[in-house]
Structure formats: structure tokens, C-alpha cells
Amino acid sequence: MLYWAIVFFLVAIVAAVFGFGNIAAAATGIAQVLFFIFIVLFILSLIAGLARRGRPVP
């Protein structure tokens, strides 16, 4: 997911350089949403991993 966020960010940069403002804005919005979803999933998996590590394995 982080890969796709970076891809959309790069698309936004290229679109902005060539003057496509609407496409750049849309790609930036998509990149931001994907990045925040990545952050939330990363934090949830980190918490789940720490909670699982505390339990003894049967």
C-alpha cells in the first residue's frame, strides 16, 4: 500500500510539472488517503504484534 501511495505521489508531481492541476490534485488526494490507511494498518499490526508477543505460545 505504501508503494501505491508513492506511485500516486510521483504521478502528482509529474502532472504538476506539466501543468495538469486537476490530475495533480486528484493524485495527491489518492496518495494521502493511501498513506493514512497504511499508517493506520501499520499501527494496528504493531499493536497486535506486541499483544501477541506477550502471550505464551501453547
Instruction: Count the Cβ atoms, other than its own, within 10 Å of residue 34.
Output: 19
Q: Which of 14, 18, 38 is nearest to 28 (CA)?
A: 14
Q: How far apart are CA 3 and CA 8, in angstroms?
A: 9
∠ Cα 48 50 52 (to 5°): 65
- Reported as a pLDDT band with limits 50, 70 and 90, residue 52 is confident
- Reported as a pLDDT band with limits 50, 70 and 90, residue 57 is low
Q: What is the pTM assigned to this prediction? A: 0.72
How many residues are recorded in the chain? Answer: 58
